[in-house]
Structure formats: C-alpha cells, structure tokens
C-alpha cells in the first residue's frame, strides 16, 4: 500500500463498516479491517489509521486449533488498546463470505460452520472479479480456469463477475472472445476492460458502488494489479515489467492486499493463483454449470449420466450445437474433483471420529473403571 495512506485515519463506513457488524463488536474493543497479514501480525485500517497489530494469545490459540480462525485479508477485527498505547488483535467478527482453500467450511449466518482445516484466502468479499486476459496469440481464453474460479467464487458467497482484461490486445477478435467467455459463465456479467486506456474501468467501478469489497482473482500476468491501479487512480500496486529477454513477466504481487479506493469501495489484489483445488464445492460447481443443470431436467431418466442414455437432453444440445461439448467435459471433470475432495474430507472426518472413539474406548478399558 502506498505510504501516503499510513498516517491518514479512516472513516469506518468507507471501509464497509455497518450496523450489523457494529452489533457484533465486543464491548470495549475497536473495529478495524484487515488489509494484509504477515506471519503472526496484521496490517489493519481503522479510525486510528493504518496500524500493524499483533494477535492476542486468544487468537493465536484459536488459529493453532483451526487455521480458518487465522485473520485474513478482508476480515473485520476487534482491537484491544493496550496500556502502552499499542493495539492487539483480540477477536475476529463473524465472516459474511469467505474463500476457503483446501478446507471444508461453508459460510452460514454465524460465520463458518462445520469442521474445517482450510485456509481462508479472503473474507467479507461482496464481488469477485475473475480476470482472464485477452491474448493476441490465441483466440480463446482458458475457459476451464474461468469455470474453476467461478465455482470458488459462488461457493464463497460472493457475486462473481468475469473481466476480460487487456481487451486492447485482441482487436477484431474481441466479440468472439466475449461470446466464448460468456458461454462458460451463464448468469454472470462479463465485461471487457483495458486498464491502459481506461476503457471499461468505470463499469468495473460500478460493481463497487455502496462501499462494496471486491477481490481480483486470475493467473499471474492477467493484469490484476494494473486494474487495481486503474481503479485507485494511482499506482498503489507494483505491476509486472515484461522482461526483454523472453517477453515474460515476473511475479510482483506476493501479498493479498486490501486497497480502499478514493471513489468508494475496496478492492483486494492477489498474487496469481497457480492452481486452486476445489474443495467440497458441489454447489459452486452446480452454479457454474446451471445451463447443463437446466438441460438435465429434461433428460428422460432422472439419473441420466448424459453419456449414451436415450432421451438425453444434454447430448441433444451438444448435437444441435447449442451446448459446446467442452462444457460437458469440464462439468464432468469439476464434479469428479469436487466429489473426490468431499470423499477425502469425509474420510478425514471419519478418521478423526475413529480416533475420538479409540480414546474413549481406551479410557473405558482403564483399570478401576466400572464395566458393564
């Protein structure tokens, strides 16, 4: 974050603070929004400005028991003022939305529920920008990556929006590309944006109205940080310099970071995600493939596998060209992955339960215990 922000204090409402959050703030503590985390400490934005705070023993204990309890970017935290004037991060307020990697964890009204050993990538995000660069060398985008990120976005509880970035690089191919991308994102807004000329940036900004928080996801080099700078109207994030030797960029964004925007709203920049595993994301996957789900309702058999069954509406749609075959393949793949991950987590849960019972049985076998 630019150092100019360091001294200024923040109007809490400009950080997304509202009455329902206020109702959950423990008495005597101060609200602050987590802008960035480093090992054991967080940078927060609050009425007292931009502060670095350490975690209380309570937070450290909770995080040791379950990493989901670790503060993450976007979290609302409650700070305790220590006698010497410093602050300590004493508690996290329940999360409205959360991206959880490698863990279970569905968001319910009371925050994350269920057993989980995941890592929260970002919390309290309203809008997810899935950034996919328009490349001049190939005319198609990585639709599979878009679908995967959309599943993650839906599952988090936030609203996804797809951004085809670097729209200046495709020229005439843009319309075709936009249609391709839209076919992978039913029910999702798809916009073209060029952060260099500023074209489309206002539409992106429109999604932040009402002091919403967005996160930008996408591969390294997709133009995420450049977009964040365009939204901010100043250079807040470093962007990749293209190396002259091989024309490839270097990774520059290493931290996830929450940036309050001058024009309102907040945006979280992220490092490129190499590969994010789906984890227990059945519903997120269903949302991404709502077009196939709808078709499937018209299959003759309720348990149609959309393979070679007679009366299959999905196969019929592929044959008449209204559904790209790639979509069905991608759906099968992501469903298999989600199911595999879910079964793995079940296995882990079963093992944990077994261990628990082993301990109880051992206790019961101890000498001196009454046995039936």
Confirm whether residue 226 is marked as ligand binding. yes
Asked if 77 and 89 touch (Cβ cutoff 8 Å), the reply is yes
Give CA–CA dist 365/104, Å, rounded: 34
Q: How far is the CB of 224 from ligand GDP (least distance, A)?
A: 3
Residues 6+ apart with CB under 8 A from 254: 271
Q: How far is the CB of 120 from ligand GDP (least distance, A)?
A: 21
| 162 belongs to the binding site for ligand GDP (CB under 6 A) | no
| 229 belongs to the binding site for Mg ion (CB under 5 A) | no
The only residue of 272, 273, 296, 316 in contact with ligand GDP, by rule CB under 6 A: 272
**Residue 168 DSSP one-character state:** G
Asked if 188 and 132 touch (Cβ cutoff 8 Å), the reply is no
Give CA–CA dist 75/35, Å, rounded: 8
Q: How far is the CB of 327 from Zn ion (least distance, A)?
A: 13
The only residue of 42, 112, 158, 312 in contact with Zn ion, by rule CB under 5 A: 312
Q: How far is the CB of 253 from Mg ion (least distance, A)?
A: 3
| 256 belongs to the binding site for Zn ion (CB under 5 A) | no
Give CA–CA dist 97/100, Å, rounded: 10
| 253 belongs to the binding site for Mg ion (CB under 5 A) | yes
| 174 belongs to the binding site for ligand GDP (CB under 6 A) | no
| Segment lying near ligand GDP (by CB under 6 A), choices 32-40, 80-88, 245-253, 351-359 | 245-253
Nearer to ligand GDP, 79 or 193 (CB): 193
| 204 belongs to the binding site for ligand GDP (CB under 6 A) | no
| 173 belongs to the binding site for ligand GDP (CB under 6 A) | no
What HEC string does 91-147 produce?
EECCCCCEEEECCCCEEECCEEECCCCCEEEEECCCEEEEEEECCCCCCCCCHHHHH
| 299 belongs to the binding site for Zn ion (CB under 5 A) | yes
The only residue of 123, 216, 278, 314 in contact with Zn ion, by rule CB under 5 A: 314
Kindly tell me the sign of the dihedral angle through the C-alpha atoms of 217, 221, 225, 229: negative
| Segment lying near ligand GDP (by CB under 6 A), choices 27-35, 173-181, 238-246, 354-362 | 238-246
The only residue of 239, 265, 330, 338 in contact with ligand GDP, by rule CB under 6 A: 239
Asked if 80 and 55 touch (Cβ cutoff 8 Å), the reply is no
Q: How far is the CB of 104 from ligand GDP (least distance, A)?
A: 29
Asked if 270 and 121 touch (Cβ cutoff 8 Å), the reply is yes
Confirm whether residue 219 is marked as ligand binding. yes
Give CA–CA dist 10/43, Å, rounded: 13
**Residue 175 DSSP one-character state:** H
Neighbours of 302 (CB within 10 A): 7
Number of H helices, E strands in the chain: 10, 15
Confirm whether residue 165 is marked as ligand binding. yes
The only residue of 36, 191, 224, 256 in contact with ligand GDP, by rule CB under 6 A: 224
Nearest of 151, 74, 66, 145 to residue 103 by alpha carbon? 66
For residue 306, the partner it binds in ligand GDP, Mg ion, Zn ion, none, with Cβ less than 5 to 8 A by kind, is: Zn ion
| 177 belongs to the binding site for ligand GDP (CB under 6 A) | no
Helix (H) or strand (E) holding 258: strand 257-260
Nearest of 62, 115, 120, 64 to residue 96 by alpha carbon? 120
- Contacts with ligand GDP by CB under 6 A: the residue count is 22
Q: Please, what is the Cα angle at 365 between 359 and 370, to 5 degrees?
A: 120
Nearer to Mg ion, 148 or 256 (CB): 256
| 225 belongs to the binding site for Mg ion (CB under 5 A) | yes
| 97 belongs to the binding site for Mg ion (CB under 5 A) | no
| Segment lying near ligand GDP (by CB under 6 A), choices 98-106, 142-150, 193-201, 349-357 | 193-201
Q: Please, what is the Cα angle at 1 between 80 and 193, to 5 degrees?
A: 125
Q: Using CB under 5 A as the criterion, which residues of the chain lie in contact with Mg ion when the complex forms?
A: 224-225, 253
Q: Using CB under 6 A as the criterion, which residues of the chain lie in contact with ligand GDP when the complex forms?
A: 165-166, 168-169, 194-196, 218, 220-226, 239-240, 242, 249, 252-253, 272
Which positions make up the binding site for GTP?
165-168, 218-226
Q: Using CB under 5 A as the criterion, which residues of the chain lie in contact with Zn ion when the complex forms?
A: 299, 304, 306, 312, 314
């Amino acid at each position: 974050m630019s150092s100019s922000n360091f001294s200024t204090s923040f109007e809490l409402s400009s950080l997304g603070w509202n009455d329902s959050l206020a109702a959950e703030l423990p008495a005597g503590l101060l609200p602050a929004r987590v802008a960035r985390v480093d090992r054991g400490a967080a940078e927060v934005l609050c009425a007292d400005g931009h502060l670095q705070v350490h975690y209380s023993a309570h937070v450290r204990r909770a995080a040791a028991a379950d990493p989901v309890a670790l503060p993450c970017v976007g979290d609302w935290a409650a700070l305790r003022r220590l006698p010497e004037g410093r602050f300590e991060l004493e508690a996290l307020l329940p999360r409205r939305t959360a991206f959880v990697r490698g863990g279970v964890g569905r968001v319910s009204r009371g925050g994350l529920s269920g057993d989980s050993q995941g890592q929260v990538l970002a919390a309290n995000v309203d809008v997810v920008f899935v950034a996919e660069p328009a490349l001049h060398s190939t005319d198609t985008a990585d639709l599979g990556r878009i679908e995967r990120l959309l599943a993650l976005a839906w599952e988090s509880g936030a609203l996804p929006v797809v951004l085809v970035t670097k729209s200046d690089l495709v020229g005439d191919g843009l319309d075709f590309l936009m249609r391709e991308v839209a076919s992978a994102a039913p029910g999702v807004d798809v916009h073209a944006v060029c952060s260099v000329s500023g074209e489309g940036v206002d539409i992106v900004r429109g999604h932040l109205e009402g002091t919403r928080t967005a996160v930008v996801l996408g591969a390294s080099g997709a133009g995420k940080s450049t977009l964040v700078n365009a939204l901010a109207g100043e250079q807040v994030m470093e962007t990749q310099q293209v190396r002259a030797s091989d024309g490839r960029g270097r990774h520059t964004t290493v931290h996830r970071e929450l940036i309050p925007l001058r024009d309102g709203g907040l945006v979280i920049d992220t490092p490129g995600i190499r590969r994010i595993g789906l984890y227990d994301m059945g519903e997120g996957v269903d949302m991404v493939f709502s077009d196939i789900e709808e078709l499937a309702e018209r299959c003759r058999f309720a348990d149609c596998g959309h393979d070679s069954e007679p009366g299959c509406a999905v196969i019929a749609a592929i044959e008449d060209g209204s559904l790209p075959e790639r979509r069905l393949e991608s759906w099968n793949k992501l469903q298999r992955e989600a199911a595999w991950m879910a079964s793995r987590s079940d296995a882990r849960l079963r093992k944990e339960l077994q261990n628990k019972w082993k301990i109880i049985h051992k206790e019961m076998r101890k000498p001196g215990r009454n046995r039936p």
